[in-house]
Amino acid sequence: MKICFIMYPWNRVEPESDTTLRLIHECVIRGHTVALSTVNNLTIRDSVAIAFCDVIKKTEKVTDNIPNFYKNAKFRHSQLPLAGFDAIIMRANPPLDILALNFLDSVRDDTFIMNDLDGIRIANNKLYMASFQDAASQYIPATHVSKSRAYLERVFDESEGDKMILKPLDGFGGRGVIVLERSARQSFNSLLDFYIGGDEHGKGSNYVILQDYVHGAENGDVRILMLNGEPIGAMRRVPAAGDVRSNIHAGGTVVKHKLTKQEQKLCKYIGPKLVRDGLYFTGIDVIGEKLIEVNVLSPGGITRINKLNRVKLQQQVIDFVESVVNAKERVVSRKNQFRQVIEDADAL
């Protein structure tokens, strides 16, 4: 197979913990041709979508030591047509310029893209959770998204709880997440001014999220990796002392976690929608058995879950990619066989 990873620059990879590197290494071990590119290296030439890629040079033996693999990897730089790849794996870090996805629209019928472009478009920000309805909605905390200071003030004042969460709509990695306590009501207007911004006419303003505080957040959250609508691994992330954020980059630590029955039900209810939207590999964040966030661009956690459970989740992910590509190839082969039967019959 020929696989292209559209990701962050290679020199920003953290070899000891990087999930994307584990996926790349698994592909190389299996003998696949692996090319790396970034969204800034996508272009169109003569109506053909291409990417300036670094293709990993194949060697006779691939080391099992992934940090050493990263250190010693050699590349050849090439300008390659995207339609020539069997699979494109999207691993760019947020925030993503959604316009960059337009370069890939022309090849989506030729190449399996994970995650699907339309899925990324609709789930790229935290509004996506508002689309979970019916049984799945019971796992979503009450969430309000607005630019209206007056509306958000009213929501906060009418809230029955003593705490709420305030965060930017396009935030990531735990950035900008604040716990609002009713006792600090006098600071709320100032925080809204900062988060919403804009001029007196609203130009340049930003949407913010005001969400019910889920009790238990002080103990951290659970990151669950979902593959094709099913959970394949999980870990509990514990925030650093004095911090509400449990993200690893915000100082959190991880411990082993086994999904509760309610967490399993949550996955059962939201998994089908993720698959329908083409979001085959995602990371969901859960607090108190409530869905807090869906990560679709470059969900991490494989390395840490692997160490906690002595598994290699990257094998399952690449198994899935291979199965989809093989299924597409079988469909094409079957179609060609049938076409040949019809041509042969017409020649009689």
Domains of the chain, CATH where assigned:
2-114 (3.40.50.20), 142-212 (3.30.1490.20), 224-309 (3.30.470.20)
Give me the phi and psi of 295, to 5 degrees please. -105, 120
Give me the phi and psi of 288, to 5 degrees please. 55, 35
Annotate 165-186 with DSSP letters as a single string: EEEETT--TTTT-EEEEGGGGG
Least confident of 57-66, 96-105, 277-286, 296-305: 96-105
Q: Is the pLDDT of residue 37 over 80?
A: yes
pLDDT of residue 113: 97
Residue with the two structure tokens 């947020």: 94
Rounded distance, CA 9 to CA 143, Å?
Answer: 35
In this structure, what token pair is assigned to residue 329? 């190839």
Query: Is residue 31 very low, low, confident or very high in pLDDT (cuts 50, 70, 90)?
Result: very high
pLDDT tens digits along 199-247: 666 677 888 989 888 888 778 899 999 999 999 999 999 987 655 555 5
pLDDT of residue 199: 66
Angle at 66 between CA 63 and CA 67, to 5 degrees: 115
Question: Comparing 205 with 317, which gets the higher pLDDT?
Answer: 317
pLDDT of residue 272: 94
CA-CA-CA-CA torsion sign (325, 327, 328, 329): positive
Tell me what the pLDDT averaged over the chain comes to.
90
Strands ordered across the beta sheet of 221-227: 253-256, 230-238, 221-227, 281-287, 290-295
Q: Is the pLDDT of residue 331 over 90?
A: no
In this structure, what token pair is assigned to residue 269? 């209810």
In this structure, what token pair is assigned to residue 16? 């000891």
Give me the phi and psi of 247, to 5 degrees please. -60, 140
Residue with the two structure tokens 């969900």: 299
Least confident of 57-61, 133-137, 244-248: 244-248
Beta bridge partners of 209: 145, 167
Whole-model pTM?
0.88
pLDDT of residue 173: 66
